[in-house]
Structure 1
Amino acid sequence: MTYKNLLPLTMALLMFPQLAQTLYSPALGDISRAFDVAPERAGQTLSVYFLAFALGVVVWGRLSDRLGRRPVMLMGLAIYVGASALALTVTTFDALLLAQACAAFGAAVGSVVTQTVLRDRFHGADLAQVFSVMGIALAASPAIGLFSGASLVEFFGYRGVLCTLLLLAAVLWGWCWWALPETRPASLPTAALGQTLGLMLKDAGVWRSVGLVAAFNIALFSYYSVGPFVFAQQGRSTAEFGYSGVLLALGSGLGAWLNKALLKRGLSGERLVVVAAAVAVVGSLLVLALQHSWLLVWPMLLVVLAFGMAIPNVLGAALVDYRDRLGTAAALFGLLYYLVIGGGLALVTWSQDLGWSLLVCGLAALWLATSRLLRS
């Protein structure tokens, strides 16, 4: 399969986990009402999602080295379809959390295995460019997710979101069955999980990448987990929150486009991550100042722009030293950063303070981004 043929499918697969998260965000208020739970408890669905996602990442990444990329992708998507069907039948909030955990476990295959497929096919500067293109596609995910999720909740409640996600996963399964190639190298040895974990835990570069991915993602998803309740406190509707996602997608898309353009001009990915972190700090300070007003959406644009600039560079450079065990290394890398994201979002939903959450993430990203440059 050529690059042009592979690109649409891998874009869709990478977008799916983020779509699943952002489609679900506008439904949190309806879930809170339907199951008679507090907003903080309803927000736990996102933190549970990330923690289960972390487990899925390590399982699917490991299996992709053993069984191949294609069969593992089909298995993960099938589990998502089954879990979404289960979520439509539950009657208690705890059962919904369990169904969401199972769905997240399955959805993780779209992240880790797709990234592994891309790393199988592309290397070096080409890989950074591919991740930049993917970043532009991912920038559309929040807009599609928030706007579509808000519209579905308005007419059908949270069940409309679940039905849509089930349908999307089923369509992706069929597309993969028809078009996804097997990219696992025929001579790839099965790396020992414990040995790979030991190498990565001692690798300061891996921990730096984990921290950067987590910081930018927690900042982004803080808005999705706390935002519905911030809008509700201001007397604004779920639909208005959904519309804000369209505006934020413009910022994320601009960040990804700027990143791609600046890479072509010869700027290094490391320096672009530093710039992105500084932009995130500025945006966070402005959100903190405006977080009791709907105007917070405008400085939030800077936060998502920083996400669009930084993430392609961090992901593209993270595992360059683990090409002989990409599936296993990607699994463990994903496990580490999704555990941090899940824990961070649990703290965010507990605090319900968007501005300070963003500022902590921005400062952490700036420290991590500058520390390597200062040492070099």
Structure 2
Amino acid sequence: MNPDARSLWRAPPWTLSVLLAALGMLGPFSIDTYLPAFAGIAQSLNATPVEIQQTLSAYLFAFAFMSLFHGSLSDSFGRRPVVLVGVAMFTLASVGCAMATSIGQLIFFRALQGLSTGAGIVVSRAVIRDMFPPDAAQRVMAQVTLFFGVAPAIAPIVGGFLFVQAGWQAVFWFLSGVGVVLWLANWWLLPETLHAEHRQSFAPKHLLKGYLELGLNRKFILLALASGVPFNGMFLYVLSAPAFLGEQLHLAPTQFFWFFLCTIAGIMGGAFCSGRLAGRIEPARQIRLGFGVMAVTSVLNLAANLLFTAEAWWALPPVGLFAFGWALVTPIVTLMVLDLFPHRRGMAASLQAFVSSTANGLVAGVVSPLVMHDTALLALASLLLMSIGLVSWTVLQRR
């Protein structure tokens, strides 16, 4: 923690939470806002479904790759410069997407978006631990988790409205505007939270030593899996929403909001409870509780989908309950990752984001297309993704 933290931010802690949450929302908005416009983009740019899918894959894998370096850069040059440069690059890339006249240009600018978006998500986690002691950091992380988790549910609604009203280019002009507002807000408000004495050398040898130190640490790997993979048990349903809601549950597009309402309610409830429980119960106990909620919900959801034909009135609430359990777990596990290596919090946040974003990419590009047309397979895939995190946490506790 920065010894000068109290003098760096004199406003109420929740205001910093809002600023950092806005940075964290940039990633989910970049992914999910343009999903409803896939058909319009394909028609406008004369692109095949495979080429349209490449716009998502290019973003996700560029995001995963650059996530390895955002935190390390912030450990050496400071949190503020990395955030400002990243948001500026994202804004320019969004303008490029809006003005693209071919599918190749769109894929290129989507990759640039992916390279830059992670700066806000990764560095904001390090900023939280720079500024707050453990219990307060958990409360702030819970608030950030709330906004981060809500974004994938809200973004398709916003994107669908913009696409219907003004065309697919309007989605990227909207993201450009978000980037401008975020850059101005951070330029005006965000202090440099990394203390001068805590800066690390950017020499290649020093960086390689740091990556090896973290990458070969068993506890770090298990915590990164426990925090990064279970999110996809919920994210899988968001990615599969058109097929899951329209084809399987036979909901009209105007009824999709029920799904997003369940998801948002679960995340808000879990994040609120996580913040309230900070300092009141042992972190490990809260993590067990969260995984317990996800595990029981996932098993019952799979059993119901195997035994009955899915109907909206019972198929949607399990996604919200799963989201509740995830939001209980992720703030604590994320802080545990950052505190493993206090002198390399930025790098730890980078590697954690790399694990998470790689999992997101695989789920979006491989898992979702395979299971989205069968509710039982969706439930099974969600259970298996959650189980990776649960097993990782269990192994960590036993060792």
TM-score computed with the length of structure 2 as normaliser? 0.85
Matched, 1:310 2:320: no
Higher Rg: 2
CA distance in 2, matches of 1:16, 1:2: 25
Partner of residue 10, structure 2: 2
Q: Which amino acid aligns with 1:204?
A: R
Residues 1:103 and 1:46: Cα distance change in structure 2 (over 3 Å) = same
Partner of residue 106, structure 2: 96
Q: Which amino acid aligns with 1:371?
A: V
Residues 1:45 and 1:72: Cα distance change in structure 2 (over 3 Å) = same
Equivalent of 1:48 in 55, 58, 80: 58
CA distance in 2, matches of 1:331, 1:373: 24
Partner of residue 24, structure 1: 34
Secondary structure of 1:190's aligned partner: coil
CA distance in 2, matches of 1:189, 1:174: 25
Residues 1:250 and 1:76: Cα distance change in structure 2 (over 3 Å) = same
Aligned pair count reads: 374
Partner of residue 223, structure 1: 237
Residues 1:323 and 1:357: Cα distance change in structure 2 (over 3 Å) = same
Decide which moves more: 198-207 or 86-95: 86-95
Secondary structure of 2:236's aligned partner: helix
Partner of residue 374, structure 1: 398
The Cα of 1:54 is off from its aligned counterpart by 1.7
Equivalent of 1:81 in 91, 100, 103: 91
Contact 1:270 1:369 in 2 (8 A): no
The Cα of 1:38 is off from its aligned counterpart by 6.4
Matched, 1:190 2:200: yes
Alignment of 1:350-365 (within 5 A): 350-353=369-372, 354-365=378-389
Partner of residue 165, structure 2: 155
Partner of residue 217, structure 2: 203
Residues 1:220 and 1:24: Cα distance change in structure 2 (over 3 Å) = farther
Partner of residue 332, structure 1: 351
TM-score computed with the length of structure 1 as normaliser? 0.89
Aligned-residue CA RMSD (Å): 2.5
CA distance in 2, matches of 1:68, 1:312: 23
Secondary structure of 2:338's aligned partner: coil
Matched, 1:144 2:163: no
The Cα of 1:243 is off from its aligned counterpart by 5.1
Q: Which amino acid aligns with 2:398?
A: L
Partner of residue 255, structure 1: 270
Partner of residue 269, structure 1: 283
Partner of residue 142, structure 2: 132
Contact 1:150 1:241 in 2 (8 A): no
Residues 1:259 and 1:28: Cα distance change in structure 2 (over 3 Å) = farther
Residues 1:272 and 1:347: Cα distance change in structure 2 (over 3 Å) = farther
Partner of residue 174, structure 1: 184
Matched, 1:57 2:78: no
Q: Deviations over 1:119-157 (max 9, x none)?
A: 211232222222122223334323432332232233234
CA distance in 2, matches of 1:369, 1:340: 17
| Identical counterparts, % of pairs | 26
CA distance in 1, matches of 2:150, 2:225: 24
Decide which moves more: 285-294 or 298-307: 285-294
CA distance in 2, matches of 1:279, 1:350: 27
Structure 2, unmatched stretches of 5+, are: 1-8, 373-377
Decide which moves more: 312-321 or 286-295: 286-295
Q: Which amino acid aligns with 1:355?
A: A
Contact 2:298 2:383 in 1 (8 A): yes
Alignment of 1:102-121 (within 5 A): 102-121=112-131
Contact 2:290 2:326 in 1 (8 A): yes
Matched, 1:322 2:337: no
CA distance in 2, matches of 1:135, 1:215: 15
CA distance in 1, matches of 2:266, 2:190: 31
